[in-house]
Structure 1
Amino acid sequence: MAEFKNRITVSIYDQQYTIIGEDEPGHIRYVAGLVDERIREISKYNSGLDTSRKAVLAAVNIMDDYVKLKEDFEILLHKLEAEGYDHD
């Protein structure tokens, strides 16, 4: 059975992208806006780079944030488990 998917057109660094997903359109637009902000931030300090390199740097920065948050989350889960909290 096919699931309903939202098709949303967003602008990231002045380029239009169609994103298809199950998340709410507002969430998709929010995430795309964050990506756009990150690329523009990188662009301020690296204006000589082409768009592809700016996008790769943005992806590396975003994944760095994600990995750090995931590690912090795991630490918190271990602390909660040590205190007897079951998160399942």
Structure 2
Amino acid sequence: MSEFKNRITVSIYDQHYTIVGQDEPSHIRYVAGLVDERLREISRYNSGLDTSRKAVLTAVNIMDDYVKLKEDYERLLHQLEAEGQKHD
């Protein structure tokens, strides 16, 4: 089994990173752009923090969004299952 990996250089908070992954380059750039946007947003409200602390706050905010979306997804799946059982 061969693994196709894309090697993409992106800029996040004025730093260049090389990301290697199997996703399409456009997807990798899109995700990196979202991280850059969130980091800059966090920076606007926390300008006194160093970059490492801003990055950690950004990661916490992104994971909070992820967990909430995952919980919503699970809740919707359970609702769909319950609706499907009503119609059986």
Q: Structure 2-normalised TM-score?
A: 0.94
**Per-residue deviation, 1:30:** 0.3
Say what the alpha-carbon RMSD is for the aligned residues. Answer: 1.0
Aligned length: 85
Give the distance between the partners of 1:68 and 1:45, measured in 2 at CA. 22
SS in 1 for 2:19: strand
Could you tell me which residue of structure 1 aligns to residue 60 of structure 2?
60
**Per-residue deviation, 1:24:** 0.5
- Identical positions, percent: 86
* Residue 30 (structure 2) pairs with residue 33 (structure 1): no
1:41-60 counterparts in 2 under 5 A? 41-60=41-60
Could you tell me which residue of structure 2 aligns to residue 78 of structure 1?
78
Unpaired runs of at least 5, structure 2: none
SS in 1 for 2:84: coil
Bigger Cα displacement from structure 2, 1-10 vs 55-64? 1-10
Whose radius of gyration is greater, 1 or 2?
Answer: 2
Unpaired runs of at least 5, structure 1: none
Q: Structure 1-normalised TM-score?
A: 0.94
Higher helix share: 2
- Structure 1 segments of 4+ aligned residues over 4 angstroms from their partners: none
